[in-house]
Amino acid sequence: MTGNTKMEEEEEVETRRIPVKGDSKEGNWMEEESEEAELTVDVYQTPADIIVQTMVAGVRPEDLELVISRDMITIRGKREESRIINEENYFARELYWGSFSRTILLPAEIDPEEAEATEKHGLLTIKLPKIDKDRKTSVKVKSI
């Protein structure tokens, strides 16, 4: 859910990192960060659609929020830990629990009204139909 991403223009995007045991950073390796994590995503296109995929395993559909405009999508959610274990009983704690989000600028204009989102085995797939700017329609003028 975290990491560095290279953008098309070779611009590096800063992301947040959750500390794990063995980190060289000072402090408790089990401290929880209060900020949102950033989702990792795959974004690709087909001739008619832009497809966004991300892993949301352990997140209920009602805990996901998708905000879609013609040129941007924001995915927000929260993964809640279902069991409580005493901190001293952990040897490693690398799974992310808490809020996450990701905003993606889309490479083409899309029709937000026709967007579809499905989740299967923890993989969220969002299908965003591209707007065909070359499509033309003839309109007949009516006399009134």
Q: What is the pLDDT of residue 16?
A: 37
- Tell me 74's DSSP state: E
125, 51 contact by CB (below 8 A): yes
Radius of gyration, CA atoms only, the chain: 20
Amino acid at 52: V
Domains of the chain by start residue, with CATH:
5-129 (2.60.40.790)
Q: Going by C-beta distance under 8 Å and a sequence separation of 6 or more, which residues neighbour residue 143?
A: none
Over the stretch 99-127, which tens digit does the pLDDT of each residue have?
999 999 999 999 999 999 999 999 999 99
**Which portions of the chain are predicted below pLDDT 50?**
4-33
The partner residues of 39 in beta bridges, in order of sequence, read none
Cα gap 135→33, rounded to integer Å: 48
Q: What is the pLDDT of residue 34?
A: 52
